[in-house]
Amino acid sequence: MGLFDKLRAELIDIIEWIDDSQHTLVWRFPRHQNEIKNGAQLIVRPGQVAVLVSNGELADVYEPGHYELATSNMPILSTLKGWKYGFESPFKAEVYFVSTKQVTDLKWGTPNPIMLRDPEFGPIRIRAFGTYSLRAVDAKAMLTEIVGTDGEFGTDDITELLRSIIASSFADLLGKLQVPALDLAAKYSELSESLREEVVERIDDEYGLDCPALFIVNVSLPESVEKALDTRTSMGVIGNMNQFQQYQMGQAMTMAAENPSGGGAADGMGLGMGFAMANRMMPAAGGAAAGGAMPAVGPAGPAPPPPPPVAAWHIAVNGQTQGPYSVEQLVAGITSGEVARDTMVWTAGMDSWLKADQAAQLASYFAAATPPPPPPAP
């Protein structure tokens, strides 16, 4: 081997790209003045394509493989350069490597709430977020439309554009399908696939990109709406509200009885709870005392007379007036011991407050509640 042959062999380049970043989409091979030696070795690994650019014009595209850059395997570049015969000198060209593997850990979301007209809630705002993957499928379109002369182009340079495209497509999809907000969670898979197809339609031909996978992870409502839904759900779980209130009042009375140190405030609370319970139970008790069910009145019969007026009583507890209560409620309080003999009472027609056992309408209930003296011991 002659000296010039040895030097020529040492000048042969190896052009390759080993990507360690996992997020780089396009990388330009660095060359001094873009000179490539004749017979340079081009290595294109799986998940890559190489594109030769000469004087701003896209030339040959190389799929994965091992190539020797010569006239025989550079048909477009040879035509651009006007090489009719073989050549021996270096030539100028830029080599761009384009990654064709999937980038899978990308995220999207709606930067602002999307306004919708929901059939159940009316106008409503929702947010959504999810994940997607990206892959280059047309190297020439990608270099022409979004890369330009950048020496390195990664997913960070295009994610803002893609997020805007996904958010816009998501709003269009919701407006088209008219899915109620409460039914969105049951259609995540269907909506994800429809959204992916919408996005691919927008980025495939224009940017040379593909979106192999796109997922909707969550669709959320405003915080105030979520709290209202939680309240509505809680009411549905409770069921019969009257029974629940009776249970709560019974629990409060039990706690007041078990806490004698609560003083007058606890006594007032227990008395109020007892009267409320009596108020709920007295209509049923009154119906039973009257002999059960009300007699039926024929269509032609006279209307039943209105109920007699009920006296309104007030009681004084810790210097505060409570009431009004009916006589039946006070009797229930006397029976349970919540209304004592010295409890001050008042009703319309009385000149001043009286102790309960001094009121004419209540004195008999205290007399009946007091047992006679026990018989003498034998």
Residue 128 bridge partners (DSSP): 219
Count of CA atoms in the C-beta half-sphere (13 A) of 269:
17
In a domain, 236, yes or no: no
pLDDT in tens, 109-123: 988 888 888 877 788
Work out the percent of the chain whose per-residue pLDDT is above 90. Answer: 21
Residue 6 has pLDDT above 50, yes or no: no
CATH code for the domain in which residue 138 is found = 3.30.479.30
pLDDT in tens, 70-94: 887 788 888 888 776 667 778 888 8
Boundary of a domain, candidates 99, 131, 150: 99
- Does residue 52 sit in the same domain as residue 114? no
In a domain, 72, yes or no: yes
- Does residue 213 sit in the same domain as residue 121? yes
Boundary of a domain, candidates 77, 99, 121: 99
In a domain, 343, yes or no: yes
- Does residue 158 sit in the same domain as residue 272? no
- Does residue 218 sit in the same domain as residue 132? yes
Number of domains forming the structure of the chain: 3
In a domain, 47, yes or no: yes
In a domain, 298, yes or no: no
Residue 186 has pLDDT above 50, yes or no: yes
- Does residue 365 sit in the same domain as residue 245? yes
Give the orientation angle of helix 263-289 with respect to helix 241-257, to 10 degrees.
Answer: 130
Residue 98 pLDDT grade (very low, low, confident, very high; cuts 50, 70, 90): very high
- Does residue 148 sit in the same domain as residue 185? yes
pLDDT at residue number 305: 65
Residue 7 pLDDT grade (very low, low, confident, very high; cuts 50, 70, 90): very low
Residue 310 has pLDDT above 90, yes or no: no
Residue 258 bridge partners (DSSP): none
Residue 371 sits at the vertex; the CA angle it makes with 368 and 372, to the nearest 5 degrees, is 110
Over residues 65-71, the mean pLDDT reads 88
Residue 90 vs residues 9, 284, 353: alpha-carbon distances, Å = 13, 107, 119
Contact 142, 25 (CB under 8 A): yes
Work out the percent of the chain whose per-residue pLDDT is above 70. Answer: 72
- Does residue 93 sit in the same domain as residue 140? no
**Whole-angstrom distance, CA of residue 184 vs CA of residue 195:** 13
Residue 198 pLDDT grade (very low, low, confident, very high; cuts 50, 70, 90): very high
- Does residue 193 sit in the same domain as residue 278? no
pLDDT at residue number 4: 47
pLDDT at residue number 155: 86
Contact 128, 220 (CB under 8 A): yes
pLDDT at residue number 46: 93
Give the domain extent around 180: 103-226
Residue 185 pLDDT grade (very low, low, confident, very high; cuts 50, 70, 90): confident
- Does residue 39 sit in the same domain as residue 111? no
In a domain, 157, yes or no: yes
- Does residue 184 sit in the same domain as residue 257? no
In a domain, 109, yes or no: yes
Contact 311, 325 (CB under 8 A): no
- Does residue 146 sit in the same domain as residue 204? yes
In a domain, 377, yes or no: no
Boundary of a domain, candidates 74, 99, 124: 99
- Does residue 65 sit in the same domain as residue 128? no
